[in-house]
Chains A and B, each alone.
Chain A
Amino acid sequence: MKFAEELKKSFFIASWFILLTFPIMVIQVNTIENIVIWRWHNIILIGLGSFAFSFCWQIFLNKKSSTKLIAPAGLSPLNRLMNEPRLYRPALIIIGLAALIFPFVFSHYQINIMTTALIYVMLGLGLNIEVGLAGLLDLGYVAFYAVGAYSYALLNYHFGLGFWTALPVGALLAAIFGILIGFPVLRLRGDYLAIVTLAFAEIIRLVLENWNAFSFGPSGISNIPRPGFFGRNLTPEQSAIYMYFLLILLCLLTIFIIHRLQHSRIGRAWVALREDELACQAMGIDKTKAKLTAFALGATWAGMAGVIFAAKTTFINPASFTFLESAMILSIVVLGGMGSIAGVIIAALALILLPEYLRVFSDYRMILFGAALIMMMIFRPQGILADMRKKYEFHKTEDSRTIKRDVL
């Protein structure tokens, strides 16, 4: 009975979507040649697609609401894997070994895209501090990335500063920018903050684009040196391997620091801030300090990633630092699970590596991102891997839940 009803509903929805997408999907006008192309086959695709989709949608939505009533979502197998030392230790060892032999097994190109993916891991972890832990939705994260990249490029161009000097300088400059942006927006609530950070990032990009005397404008800066290895010049292959291990080390450092931060006083303050700003203030947490450190620390990692990015591509221009890049990093954090380190790593690797291997879908990459963001928010707002802290935070409820279950 219910099944038939759902079928009927899906049928109705499919017809609605056929109607809705008709002008965009079916008709293609070429206003230049004055030709109209009718792509009728798209109707069938849309009809079948939306029918199946809405059917699954309803099932999932039903399932979601019913699970919510019966029991709070249990730990997924992946989460269980993360929890049990017996399970995750061997897995970690294998991943570590794989990471170690990776550059010697695979080609230069594979190392290169892995390095790119690791840069995004850093970016994702950095943004995770702001969005995932402190709940400050930053839509202009790419601005700090740009600050890092440009500080290396410009310092190198004007003063011949090397990579290793530029790395802390870039990180520091980005952190200063983080505080500078953080100060004025302290008073703003979540969504205003999002828009202001977006505006800041656009301003920084526009300044880089227009101020030729400072940033060389849209033509960018080329010939940025790759990092040297104790003063020795490396072949491109060696340099790629070197960059790879450098990033592995930096990522490990990042993970370590963020892990420690998460469980520190300030980390708990961030989570409190995220959950309820007013209550957190009432508990005597210094809101200003917590927000500013979140901004500054998040920016630090973007700055470092920026320096590495500049050294890796050896060329930068403002076009690399658009809003889409921010949206991409945000998707990494959201898909991975806000606040979860392992989730962010998995999401970054998946989002960067998959499109490289599945080049056929490169046209559909962004549309899938968009869809994934919506789906994630509706069906699995906690991300691929939920933040492990959840359990820690709600320790008591967990007990009460087991009791309830016994009663049931």
Chain B
Amino acid sequence: MKSTFIIKYLIGMLLSLMFITTLTAQATDTIKIGIAGAHSGDLASYGQPTVKAAQLVIKNINAAGGVAGRKVELIIEDDACKPEMATNVATKLVSAKVDAVIGHICSGATKAALRTYKDAGIIVISPSATSPELTFSGQYPNFFRTIAPDSAQAKLVADFTLQTLKLSKIVIIHDKGDYGKGFAEYAKKFIEGSGKAQVVLYEGVTPGAVDYSAIVQKIKYAGADAVIYGGYHPEAASIVQQMRKKGMKTAFISDDGVKDQTFIKVASSYAEGVYASGPKDTTKNPLAIAAIAEHRKTYGAEPGAFYLNAYAATQALLHAMNKAKSTEHNAVAKALRTYQADTPLGKIRFNKDGDAIGAGFSMYQVQKGVYVEIK
């Protein structure tokens, strides 16, 4: 008697599962766009702005009649920036038959997921994955991004340090992470390759360590006149604070991860004079102003990290679909490479590797509590 009950229960469970999957596999004629990235957990603050950006763009496009007469719909999936979850998300989006994907947020997760998208012939535009390998290896013809690769950023920072600031004894430190270490390695390569300066110290610091006094002492006694830091703002803020408290006036030059208003708030007065690279100044671009105003109006807050990159990525994608009059992979890829789209980052199209042309980087300096672009 008991066993029949269990059999019935199991069959019921199986049937209901099948029912759920058939429901999700419904066919529609909307354009489906997957949004993948970290939306929960400790890296959520990097992924959430992308969701908001895409939602705002889609809302406007749909209100204006959609793309080539078809409405656009978003499918949002969370990968928590973990490679293993990213592959699952990728197959989920492929199973849901998305036409393109905006994401993923972290380079590692993007690398893990790209294989699946490539096999399924789906276009991926990332607003934030900066690993050079993604575009330079030539393995992913379906991958595009609206952010510059680490190497381009490192080149800019290295040139700025050598040519504009004319400094010659340089310390390079990084946070041992994918992004920071990648950036630091390229910076080291460019500086050593130039022959004009020497790297006197190249080391990684532990994110979340109790303090950074030992590495600060090391920088001090290395007698360097510039510190190039690869990584994000929390560690940078600590290191700059401890350097300045020790009375060191060494120039501090860093990357996009530090070009964040939070850095200035955390490091307070110690942030003055710090250099950081970041996307070309967008404060005068009317589209960027409008996009930020829209975010403020809808969510009542300032947009977060990579918001404009994601906004531009979504616009560029839909623009290309419109031009190609289809969502077919090759046609859209060709359109992305041929036609310029008007975005908050400027007029952009993509080169054959998938990197954006027209969305460059420039150097900024903290002056009186804000980042000011250096011309």
Do A and B actually bind? yes
Chain A interface (Cβ within 8 Å of chain B)? Answer: 31-32, 81, 86-87, 90-91, 94-95, 98, 105-110, 112-113, 116, 209-210, 212, 217-220, 222-223, 235-236, 240, 309, 312-317, 319-320, 356, 359, 362-363
Task: For residue A52, give the distance in angstroms from its CB to the closest CB of chain B.
Answer: 26
**Within residues 1 to 30 of chain B, which ones have a CB less than 8 A from any CB in chain A?**
2-3, 6-7, 10-11, 14, 17-18, 21, 24-25
A317 to B18, CA, bound (A): 35
Query: Is B88 a contact of A116 with CB atoms below 8 Å?
Result: yes
Q: What residue in chain B is nearest A236 (Cβ atoms)?
A: B119
A356 to B20, CA, bound (A): 14
Task: For residue A28, give the distance in angstroms from its CB to the closest CB of chain B.
Answer: 14
Query: Is A223 a contact of B177 with CB atoms below 8 Å?
Result: no
Chain A contacts for B86, CB-based, 8 A: 313
Query: Is B3 a contact of A317 with CB atoms below 8 Å?
Result: no
Chain A contacts for B185, CB-based, 8 A: 212
Query: Is B178 a contact of A218 with CB atoms below 8 Å?
Result: yes
Q: Do A320 and B133 form a contact, CB below 8 Å, given A32-B262, A107-B21, A219-B108?
A: no
B116 at the binding interface (Cβ < 8 Å): yes
Query: Is A222 a contact of B25 with CB atoms below 8 Å?
Result: no
B92 at the binding interface (Cβ < 8 Å): yes
**Which of A81, A109, A359 sits near B95, CB closer than 8 Å?**
A109
Query: Is B21 a contact of A314 with CB atoms below 8 Å?
Result: no
Chain A contacts for B131, CB-based, 8 A: 219
Chain A contacts for B116, CB-based, 8 A: 236
5 pairs, A vs B, C-beta closer than 8 Å: A87-B2, A105-B18, A217-B181, A218-B178, A313-B84
Interface size class on chain B is: 35 or more
A309 to B178, CA, bound (A): 20
B139 at the binding interface (Cβ < 8 Å): yes
B115-127 interface code vs A (CB 8 A; 1 in, 0 out):
1100110000000
Chain A contacts for B182, CB-based, 8 A: 218-219
Q: What residue in chain B is nearest A235 (Cβ atoms)?
A: B119
A346 to B116, CA, bound (A): 29
User: Apart from A106-B21, A107-B21, A222-B133, what are 10 other A-B pairs with CB-CB below 8 Å?
Assistant: A90-B7, A95-B10, A116-B88, A218-B108, A222-B111, A235-B119, A236-B94, A240-B91, A315-B108, A315-B112
A108 to B91, CA, bound (A): 6
A105 to B81, CA, bound (A): 30
B360 at the binding interface (Cβ < 8 Å): no
A326 to B24, CA, bound (A): 34
**Is chain B's interface secondary structure helix, strand, loop, or mixed overall?**
helix
Chain A contacts for B91, CB-based, 8 A: 108-109, 112, 236, 240
B304 at the binding interface (Cβ < 8 Å): no
**Which of B40, B78, B82, B87 sits near A319, CB closer than 8 Å?**
B82
Query: Is B83 a contact of A313 with CB atoms below 8 Å?
Result: yes
A87 to B21, CA, bound (A): 30
Task: For residue A161, give the distance in angstroms from its CB to the closest CB of chain B.
Answer: 19
Chain B contacts for A313, CB-based, 8 A: 83-84, 86-87, 112
B189 at the binding interface (Cβ < 8 Å): no
Query: Is A90 a contact of B25 with CB atoms below 8 Å?
Result: no
A107 to B91, CA, bound (A): 9
A315 to B88, CA, bound (A): 13
Query: Is B14 a contact of A210 with CB atoms below 8 Å?
Result: no
Q: Do A222 and B112 form a contact, CB below 8 Å, given A109-B88, A356-B88?
A: yes
**Which of A98, A217, A223, A314 sits near B87, CB closer than 8 Å?**
A314
Query: Is B21 a contact of A110 with CB atoms below 8 Å?
Result: yes
Q: Do A108 and B94 form a contact, CB below 8 Å, given A218-B177, A319-B82?
A: yes
B368 at the binding interface (Cβ < 8 Å): no
